[in-house]
Amino acid sequence: MSEISRRRFVGSALGSTALLATTAGVGRAEESADIDVGTLGKTAHTKFACNVEMWWRKLPFLDRVKKAAEFGYPAFECWSSHRKQVQAVADLAQQLGIEVAQFTAAFGFNTPAKLDQFVEAIKNACREAKILKARKACVVAGANVEGMTERQMHDQCITALKKVAPIVEDNNLMLILEPLNIRVDHKGQCLYRGPDAVRICREVDSPKVKINWDLYHQQITEGDLCGHLREGFDQIGYIQLADHPGRHEPGTGEINYSRVLREVSDLGYHDYVGLELSPATTELAAAVAVKKADIW
């Protein structure tokens, strides 16, 4: 090895060591006076929405929303904890200047017996969305139904989504259909592959019925995250992330999120990306890791 090559190698090694040291110290970030907590949610390229069902779990729901705003996130997402206090959540969000990126509207509409219930749930979601000033609401197809094939359940989802499409179009609310992985977290769900969700949404053919493309679920189910993003991008309405294994923040698992987020940006998606993850140690450490992943 020449002297010049040796110097380059040593310099590269030292740089990598410094990066590892920084990453290793993230778990102790709460003790550092150098971190301005309010800037953590102000990231380089991607607008993130903090999932307040999975962050700060020991706090009351409204206090979690306050924490998301304190960290500087422009938006938050939730499942159904808002439901008993919709107006209070809306008032707090307006006061804090933080947006409701999306919430869960309905779970289970893959059988004819659930169609009427699904329609009512979507009507209610439209009412909630107006109060919350939310533009998107998540729907999940549901568990396997005895006596129905997977294709029959998917076709019933198409029927149900076509039924409610005029309702959400009139209310300017986008429904985002989420495929869930069945290997780790959601065994027995009927919709878990990205291409199936793409087919369903293309059949429904509505600008207000798209996919909640959760990169965590898709990594477990299919991998090739960038390739599948490109193939289904015309039907993507929302994106979520978590690393795998563990469902924690970027940098704790196998996904190169700097590369994936760059692909998301290059494809032209510039709306919120949901942080539907469980912090591995602290919320502060998770926020630091997310901010680092958005640098490329």
Whether residue 50 sits in one domain with residue 137: yes
Helix 150-170 with 194-204: angle, nearest 10 deg:
50
Q: Which residues contact 123 (CB under 8 A, 6 or more apart)?
A: 167
Whether residue 85 sits in one domain with residue 205: yes
Whether residue 58 sits in one domain with residue 29: no
| CATH number for 284 | 3.20.20.150
Whether residue 115 sits in one domain with residue 72: yes
Nearest to 247 by CA among 275, 205, 287: 275
Whether residue 25 sits in one domain with residue 102: no
* Confidence (pLDDT) at 26: 47
Whether residue 156 sits in one domain with residue 25: no
* Confidence (pLDDT) at 98: 98
Per-residue pLDDT of the chain (296 residues; tens, 9 = 90+): 444 343 333 333 333 333 333 444 444 444 455 899 999 999 999 999 999 999 999 999 999 999 999 999 999 999 999 999 999 999 999 999 999 999 999 999 999 999 999 999 999 999 999 999 999 999 999 999 999 999 999 999 999 999 999 999 999 999 999 999 999 999 999 999 999 999 999 999 999 999 999 999 999 999 999 999 999 999 999 999 999 999 999 999 999 999 999 999 999 999 999 999 999 999 999 999 999 999 99
Whether residue 118 sits in one domain with residue 20: no
This prediction has a pTM of: 0.89
Whether residue 211 sits in one domain with residue 252: yes
Number of domains, the chain: 2
Whether residue 127 sits in one domain with residue 211: yes
Whether residue 185 sits in one domain with residue 196: yes
Nearest-angstrom CA–CA distance, 139 and 122: 9
The domain in which residue 225 lies consists of 35-293
CA 250 to chain centre: 13
* Confidence (pLDDT) at 24: 42
Whether residue 42 sits in one domain with residue 28: no
* Confidence (pLDDT) at 13: 37
Whether residue 58 sits in one domain with residue 22: no
